[in-house]
Structure 1
Amino acid sequence: MKSYLDFEKPVAELQAKILELRALGENGDAVGIDEEVNRLEAKSLQALKELYAGLTPWQKALVARHPNRPHFQDFAAGLVEDFTPLAGDRKFSEDEAIMGGPARFRGQPIMLIGQEKGADTASRLKHNFGMARPEGYRKAVRLMELADRFNLPVVALVDTAGAFPGIEAEERGQAEAIARSTEACLNLTTPNVAVVIGEGGSGGAIAIATANVVLMLEHAIYSVISPEGAASILWRDAAKAQDAATNMKITSADLMRLGVIDGVIPEPLGGAHRDPDTVIAATGDAIANALGRFAGLSPREVREDRRAKFLAIGRTL
């Protein structure tokens, strides 16, 4: 059953009418309903086009958080073969919010890393809603060091509201773990590509997204803090999250214009959750193109390219 967001109410109402008419037709209670169904379907499609042609930043945030949006494991299943998840940070424990391991992408060995939010209640609890603890980022460091040792490009799929903010995470060095993971990204001598597939929240995202090439899905968001968090700090009112989202420039179009990201991957009409296979295939093409840019570059050139990219962000001269 499809799940509709609040702003999609006009589409939901039309789809409900279509389902009702189809049910009547199947029961033999209505005659010649095909024409009306076709009319309503055309009207529904037009309404969806109009809605998604003018999404506000807050509405894009809602789409990025849609529960049916494809997550890391969906992308892993559709993008790579022979994915072998590795567990543990070799220091404290396993963290299920960050998953990763060697895989084969279109015949090329890579290291795949990303945040998994989970698809139902049980898996969301297991993966802590994609919010990693320090051991998750230390696992990411371990995987990146392995990738460097075996000359594997790193592909990171980013989807987190942020690092886990619990007391135990702070006690185990959350900030230091995020910093070490960011440093590991910068020090890689192999190319790395990051794709924000849903939410790119704060240091929890940048810890694995400090990449040679940073891409975003069209309706993903990427920000230093959630709109709700920014509203609570600036106005002491989380209800102003919509205002915060508008002013924070969290959308792919804004970040592309500001030079924070390097490319935008189009989503199907109505968002990635309406046609996951298409968006996963498009993501694969974008990753392949990005990795192809670094063919023939030396390890030193790959590292310098990455550092120059981040040093250039925000420069106006």
Structure 2
Amino acid sequence: MRGTHERAQPRAPRRERRGRTVAALVAGAVLAGTGGVVWFAVGEGDDGPARGAAEASRRPSPKPTPQWDTSPRSIAALGDSITRGFDACGVLTDCPEVSWATGTDPGVGSLAQRMLKNPGRSSWNHARSGARMDDLPRQVSAAVSDRPDLVTVMVGANDACRDSTDLMTPAADFRSDFEKALRTLRRALPKTQVYVASVPDLKRLWSEGRQNPFGKQVWKLGICASMLSEPDALDKASVARRQQVYDRVVAYNSALKEVCGKDPRCRYDGGEVFRYRFSGKQLSPWDWFHPSKNGQERLAEMAYRRITAKEPVA
């Protein structure tokens, strides 16, 4: 107890007291040497780094992104008439031997021929002419039994190619069906890789094909009427109709990119098929709509580049 005339010493500022606490505890730790428990503490308000380190040690480490296998040993192809080689060899008939994905024609050099040692035994074509995106989940289910290392997807042109623009698949439904297909695949084959090709530019198809009188006559049979009907009409309504189809294809490709981008084992082609400046040489001489053998070869080249690249393209 202090005397009545003794003045109380003023208390040190809070920051100074905190510093003394740190110094005392650190000194105690040093004196403890290697025997017994050694404590380390910091004063009030200075625990940011220590707390951050402790919290970081408790957080689970992020899972590494799976490495993309540029040399798959088996391929299953999904999609529509393009992947079936429709009208590439004859009139109104599938020609899967020239398919860009799994074909056997050496003049095309399909993806399977470029990548697999035994394409005939380790590649399967489950595509269906006329298929739309809502058919993809069924095709995935069929491919699951093959247990492929790689699944290729090219579908969407038939969703935009309808008798009228009112019948085009809504973009939201297109996205939902694609998500469903990927979920179906992932539940059964979590490690299978997926290559997704963009939907071709149907407006480019109109621009190229309308230069051929025979092609325009064939289109009158009802091929992709939403885009190709009255190919020479340039009135306001016709221009708006074609633009509506173009915009819907762009929306489809955005959905493919975004949904695929959420799956670390899925690669989108970066819109390469959509941007490809094909000419009449790449179109079927029977309908001026589907790819010719040359067009199938170009599709195979694009897919091979994307799949064998070390890094994906945005």
TM-score tier, shorter chain, comes to: 0.3 to 0.5
> By percentage of residues, which structure has more helix?
1
